[in-house]
């Protein structure tokens, strides 16, 4: 089997303080779009995590331009991977001396760009 000669630029952010389910909603907005259109969508999104996803996308675009010499106007979002990171466990005091567990989820995101 031959290896594909398609160049792929990527950027990753680990330990984002948001649950993977919520992060995947924002990641779904940019999957398969051109990089410029994805940046505009993230800039005008009302979701809090869109700021961090936009930073990751800008980093991937910079990696494509500087490290691989790709044309930034021809880039599109090939893949967006959202994964689960660690979970911080806390507790909340409840009535009658009981307690409840609170889980604070963290996520990872990786954005892969390819030239069209």
Domain of residue 109 covers: 8-115
Say if 110 falls within a structural domain.
yes
Q: Which residue has the tokens 């649950």?
A: 19
| pLDDT tens per residue across span 9-18 | 999 999 999 9
| pLDDT tens per residue across span 9-50 | 999 999 999 999 999 999 999 999 999 999 999 999 999 999
Say if 1 falls within a structural domain.
no
Strand residues in 6-98 grouped as ranges (E): 8-16, 75-93
Say if 3 falls within a structural domain.
no
Q: Residue 67 sits in a domain of what CATH number?
A: 3.90.470.10
Give the model's pLDDT for residue 5.
76
Can you tell me the distance from the alpha carbon of 22 to that of 105, in angstroms, rounded to the nearest whole number?
10
Q: Are 49 and 108 in contact (CB under 8 A)?
A: no
Say if 91 falls within a structural domain.
yes
Number of domains in the chain: 1
Say if 2 falls within a structural domain.
no
Give the model's pLDDT for residue 2.
58
Give the model's pLDDT for residue 6.
87
Say if 63 falls within a structural domain.
yes
| pLDDT tens per residue across span 106-116 | 999 999 999 98
């Amino acid at each position: 089997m031959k290896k594909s000669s398609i160049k792929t630029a990527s950027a990753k952010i680990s330990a984002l303080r948001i649950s993977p389910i919520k992060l995947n909603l924002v990641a779904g907005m940019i999957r398969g779009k051109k990089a410029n259109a994805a940046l505009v969508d993230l800039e005008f999104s009302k979701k809090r995590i869109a700021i961090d996803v936009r930073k990751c996308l800008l980093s991937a675009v910079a990696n494509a331009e500087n490290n691989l010499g790709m044309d930034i106007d021809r880039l599109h979002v090939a893949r967006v991977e959202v994964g689960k990171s660690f979970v911080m466990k806390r507790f909340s005091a409840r009535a009658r001396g009981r307690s409840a567990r609170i889980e604070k989820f963290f996520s990872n995101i990786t954005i892969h760009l390819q030239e069209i």
